[in-house]
Amino acid sequence: NAGVTQTPKFQVLKTGQSMTLQCAQDMNHNSMYWYRQDPGMGLRLIYYSASEGTTDKGEVPNGYNVSRLNKREFSLRLESAAPSQTSVYFCASRPGTGGLAFFGQGTRLTVV
């Protein structure tokens, strides 16, 4: 079982560049999440999706967009990267009510 797969694992961007972080899960989960992890800040929720075609803002959505085109995939897009977006990004998925979240291995993004 692959679980939750994130690509790429590492990325360096220049300020102003755009990119999309990909996340796919093979567990037929309904809900998917994007978090960023920064030292001393813990995990902060960027966006989440309760089901295919729906998305909601989390705690820190500014500067990001997401897309949930199908049940498996939930992508995170940075339209114009800023140094403040340097972070480790985690994708997670969760089945229905009461289910626990499974996490990907993370994407380490550096914006210079």
List contacts with other proteins (CB under 8 A): 31, 33, 35, 40-45, 48-50, 56, 58-59, 90, 92, 94, 98, 100-106
By the 10 Å C-beta count (0-12 exposed, 13-18 middle, 19+ buried), 1 is classed as exposed
CB of 15 to other proteins, least distance (A): 26
Closest C-alpha to 20, from 86, 74, 58: 74
Using the minimum distance from each CB to other proteins, give the nearer residue, 56 or 79: 56
Using the minimum distance from each CB to other proteins, give the nearer residue, 72 or 102: 102
Instruction: Provide CB contacts within 8 A for 29, sequence distance 6+.
Output: 71, 93, 94, 95, 99, 102
Give phi and psi for 84, each to the nearest 5: -65, -15
CB of 21 to other proteins, least distance (A): 14
Using the minimum distance from each CB to other proteins, give the nearer residue, 46 or 81: 46
CB of 79 to other proteins, least distance (A): 24
